[in-house]
Every structure is written in structure tokens, then in C-alpha cells.
Amino acid sequence: MREIGAGLARHEDLHVETALQIQMLRALPERITVLFMASDPGTNKLALDEEARSIGEKLRASEYRDAVNFQTRWAVRPMDILQAINELHPTIVHFSGHGTSADALVLQDDHGRPKHVSKEGIVSAIAFGSESVKLVFFNTCFSFNQARSSVEKIDAAIGMNREIGDEGARVFSSQFYSSIGFGYSIPKAFEQAKSALMMEDLSQSDIPELHLKEGLSDEDLTLVRPLAKSKNRNSRA
């Protein structure tokens, strides 16, 4: 009888835990917005349009594609950041372009010239722009300090600890968003993206870094609700 009682108690604990997980998943928004912001001033041009195209294709091929709204902004200037965040209330803010070893993000000014924006300025804009932001993704060189500072205010951030090649950055980011679109948590999506980068170029696989706010569970770091499946593709509804 004691064994039966213990078994029933364990079953009840599992039932409660499962119910809590389902409740957390149901609390997720029906749709998230990914804000992709690109800036590429100067002569060292990157294929940022190819990165955006690849991310869009991967998201459209994912299981929960209808749950992700992918928005792009181009030739980004400093004042564009808060404007876009206020307009879209994104869940993910993504920067693609150039970064410097002095922890600056390279945007552009009103004349199309490079404009170096400090780590403190970028982190402040993200942290106080909108409570909706859960992740900031710096797909720029030397952005690990920006990512590390960001998690003082938001749940998660991804940055690069040194220079990363154009193709490697594209492979990593497109696989990351594919995994998010399949309902995986940020840490699981990050690991899958690193695996994709390892297959593309093993020498760059240690460049991306994931920083997380302390005390968060895998459920806390899941952005797309698995219960929010797309409509049956064979249906005309």
C-alpha cells in the first residue's frame, strides 16, 4: 500500500507539473514579431539581403510559420530603432551588419555614412523600448559585450565574440529562426544553429554566444506556442 501511495503521489506531481507547463505555453502570444534591422554603410558590403531572404524561407518552411511575423528595416539609423520597436512591439530584435572591437554597433547617419553607436546606447534602446522584447540577436562582429549587457534587462541575447564571416552568420541565423519556428526554446534553437554552423565551417562554431538572465527555465525561454499550429494545409478554411 505504501508503494501504491508513493506511486500515486509521483503521478499527481507529474500531473501538476504537466498542467503548469501547458498553462505557461497557453500564456504565450498567438503570434510573435521578429524585427530584422540591417545597416551596411561604407564599402565593405555584406549580403544582408541574402540573410533576410534565407531567414524568411526557413520561417515559411517551419511548422508554426503562421505564429511568426518577420519584419525588416533597412539602412537603419539610430533613431529608427525606437521608432520600429514602438511600431511593432517585437519579441525579437535582430541586428545585422558591422560591429567594432570597441563594442560599437555600426549604423549610418542621415548622409549614409557610418555612425558608431555605443554599447550603452543600444542596450538602453532595447531595454526601455518595449516590454515585449525577450531576445536581442546581434549578428555583428565583436558583439558579445553588447549581448552580455543586454541580459541585465531582457531575458536573452546572442552576440559574436570575434569576427564572423558573411556566410557563417547567414547559416547560423537562418537555422536559429527555423528552430524557433518549430517551437523550440531559445537555448535549443541556439544549439541547433551552432550545429548548422559547425557543418558549414567548424572554425567559426565557437563564435556565437548565448547569454541568459539567471533563473529562467526552458519554458520561460520558449517564444512560439506549440499549441498554436497552422491551419490544415489541405483545408480551404
The whole-angstrom separation of Cα 178 and Cα 54 is 10
The whole-angstrom separation of Cα 60 and Cα 90 is 18
pLDDT at 69: 97
pLDDT at 194: 98
Q: Say how many Å lie between the first and final Cα of the chain, rounded.
A: 53
Q: Which portions of the chain are predicted below pLDDT 70?
A: 1-29, 226-237
DSSP assignment of 170-205? HHHHHHHHHHHHTT-BHHHHHHHHHHHHHHH-GGGT
Pair 24, 217: CB distance under 8 Å? no
Angle (CA) 96 67 210, round 5°: 40
Pair 35, 90: CB distance under 8 Å? yes
pLDDT at 237: 40
pLDDT at 164: 96
pLDDT at 30: 80
pLDDT at 7: 61
The whole-angstrom separation of Cα 123 and Cα 117 is 10
Report how far apart, in Å, the C-alpha atoms of 43 and of each of 74, 113, 114, 155, 167 are.
Answer: 16, 10, 10, 35, 18
Query: 225-236 burial, b if ≥16 CB within 10 A, otherwise e?
Result: beebeeeeeeee
